[in-house]
Amino acid sequence: MPGAFPSHVADCGQGGSRYSRNPRPSLSRGREPISRPARANRQTIEEQHLQLRRPAVTRVVVTGLGVRAPGGSGVKEFWSLLSEGRTATRGITFFDSSPFRSRVAGEVDFDGAAEGLTPQELRRMDRATQFAVVCAREALADSGLPLEAHAPERRGVVLGSAVAAATSLENEYLVLSDSGRDWLVDPAHLSPYMGDYLSPGVAPAEVAWTAGAEGPVIMVSDGCTSGLDAVGYGVQLIQEGSADVVVAGATDTPITPIVVACFDAIKATTPRNDEPALASRPFDATRNGFVLAEGAAMFVLESHASARARGAHVYAEIGGYATRCNAYHMTGLKKDGREMAEAIRVALDQARLNPTDIDYVNAHGSGTKQNDRHETAAFKTSLGRHAYDVPVSSIKSMIGHSLGAIGSLEIAASLLAIENDTVPPTANLHHPDPECDLDYVPLTAREQPTNAVLTVGSGFGGFQSAMVLHRPEVTAV
């Protein structure tokens, strides 16, 4: 695994953030800025001196974006759905879902041939891999990056996925077992690409072919934080000098009978089948589980200096990233949200931002009873009084929960919120939970200055991750 983000030196607690040197409209409605305890208070003098001698950290920006999500194909359609507060969840159409407790999902209307995949690629690649490759191509085209400007060994790929090739593996099982009636019918009928489906590392390798990447190629699979972590690790590859350009993101296509049955068994998904469009209700008092979904988002990452030198459009800088694990329970969460709060604190520290610099929080907001309360507690701990001022929303209310891919889709939403100075809403939020008492932007998007966004993820296994994205300073080096 790539090395950790180096720490920054600036004192965030006394006006040392980037934006305090470049004032912008305040949204704190007259409240005094909240100062976080300075890291120096918890360090020895020797540690402070070592930190001061640490070389400057390479700044990493996003210059390309590709998305496939429920409700539309491409970045424009994705943002249109989010900014208009429309929902894309519906009854499952991929298979007969009548035996299941939860029968709603966020499906992607996807035609690989129409997306430019060749017949051979369509035969070879699992659906999730097809999503990743199409999004990677879109992101590379969007970035305008001349790949020949970077040697192949200086290009990298980091891809996240929770269930990888689950779709193809289930299909091959049906062939092998005569639809489950026999353990082994005829292995000769199996696809010659069965080995590809069994190896999660094949998916990032396919993306590497697309990018001509001969540098580090990494697969990340830590559940629902995979997409956020993959991008964080991509940033680290550039900062540690292992790559100049990284294509990073995540993909998942988990709408299969076995995956649906898995979440049915633990009652994590909603049984609100009669109202598919209203089924995902993060932070609402009537919420009763998440809506399973599929999707992908990929990004082109490069140094700020590289992007500036070639005059590239920059969506945002990735200022900070951190991940933690609660080491507590595979599916349960501590009520205090301590580990998520710590990940947020570290991400803010790396970005050299104060809590009051955050203009929008893109929440994990899965729509389960425990997650939404856990997350609310984490925001209060990490952001202090600003937690009550800053708008917080969950795009899962509109596109569902695509497991490993959702973290990257939420990064995409955060980038577009900065790009458009607009906070997407939390759809279906009609009855706020008294224990979720923050500004969760119910029903309607909100136009406002959006310079810095915090996005977070939470996953089975106790994983908690946070990332800070912000507009790069014009005068920064």
CATH of the domain at 73: 3.40.47.10
> Does residue 401 have an active-site annotation?
yes
| Contact present, 446 and 417 (Cβ < 8 Å) | no
Beta bridge partners of 100: none
**pLDDT value of position 466:** 98
User: Can you give the pLDDT at residue 441?
Assistant: 98
Model pLDDT, residue 438: 97
Residues in the chain: 477
262 is catalytic: no
What confidence score (pLDDT) does residue 102 get? 98
CB 432 within 8 A of CB 393: no
- pLDDT at residue 96 in the model: 96
In a domain? residue 340: no
- Asked if residue 420 is part of any domain, the answer here is no
pLDDT, averaged in runs of 10, over the chain (477 residues): 39 38 36 39 46 70 98 94 98 97 98 96 96 98 94 98 92 83 77 87 96 97 96 98 98 97 96 97 96 98 96 97 87 82 96 96 94 94 97 98 98 98 98 96 97 95 94 55
Q: Supply the angle between the helices 127-143 and 202-211 in degrees, to the nearest 10.
A: 30
Q: Does residue 345 form part of some domain?
A: no
Is 2 inside a domain boundary? Answer: no
E strand or H helix that includes residue 136: helix 127-143
Q: What is the pLDDT of residue 24?
A: 38
Structural domain including 115 reads 60-300
Q: Among residues 8, 304, 364, 374, which one is catalytic?
A: 364
> Is this model's pTM higher than 0.75 or not?
yes
Q: Report pLDDT for 245.
A: 98
Give the model's pLDDT for residue 55: 57
Please pick, among 8, 224, 304, 386, the residue that the annotation labels catalytic. 224
Beta bridge partners of 60: 303
Helices (H), 179-242: 194-198, 202-211, 226-239
Q: Tokens 């590239």 sit at which residue?
A: 312
pLDDT of 134 reads: 98
Among residues 150, 374, 401, 470, the one annotated as catalytic is 401
- Residue 166 domain-assigned? yes
Backbone torsions φ then ψ of 320, nearest 5 degrees? -160, 150
Q: Is 325 a catalytic residue?
A: no
Number of structural domains (the chain) is 1
Query: Is 317 within a domain?
Result: no
Question: Residue 352's pLDDT is what?
Answer: 93
- CA pseudo-torsion sign 211, 212, 216, 219: positive
Residue 203 lies in a domain: yes
Domain-embedded: residue 110: yes
Helix ranges, 257-400 (H):
257-265, 304-309, 338-351, 369-383, 396-399
